[in-house]
């Protein structure tokens, strides 16, 4: 069933990663290499794959855990980039990129909680039969 609550959370992750990809194109952490845009694209693809593997809940949890690791890496890279920019972190035009991986982390965590709840429900019904 694709119409579950975790699908909504995963769609929020997809939207946040698309926004990060387009706002992160000007972020160059290591010279001219676009690490942020590439990692956001990988995270986007993992979230889409997780949405469409709704019949295999354990695979969804695995994909979400990999995606959580990628978003934690993105958060760390963006913090490094923000702290090394001239003007420091107090400059008001910087920092919108950092919100998107944090939104994704929240969405992935909540999706995992609900997927585990579904898995527990399915196992309890199988135990009754």
**Cα maximum dimension of the chain:** 64
* pTM strictly above 0.75: yes
Which segments of the chain have a pLDDT < 70?
Answer: 1-2, 31-32, 86-95, 128-129
Pair 26, 76: CB distance under 8 Å: no
């Amino acid at each position: 069933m694709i119409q579950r609550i975790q699908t909504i959370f995963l769609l929020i992750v997809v939207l946040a990663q698309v926004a990060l990809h387009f706002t992160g194109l000007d972020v160059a952490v290591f010279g001219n290499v676009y690490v942020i845009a590439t990692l956001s694209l990988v995270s986007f693809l993992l979230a889409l794959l997780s949405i469409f593997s709704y019949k295999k809940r354990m695979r969804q949890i695995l994909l979400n855990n990999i995606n959580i690791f990628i978003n934690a890496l993105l958060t760390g890279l963006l913090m490094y980039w923000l702290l090394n920019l001239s003007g420091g972190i107090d400059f008001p035009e910087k920092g919108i990129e950092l919100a998107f991986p944090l939104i994704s982390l929240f969405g992935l965590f909540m999706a995992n909680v609900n997927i585990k709840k579904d898995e527990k429900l399915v196992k309890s019904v199988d135990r009754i039969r």
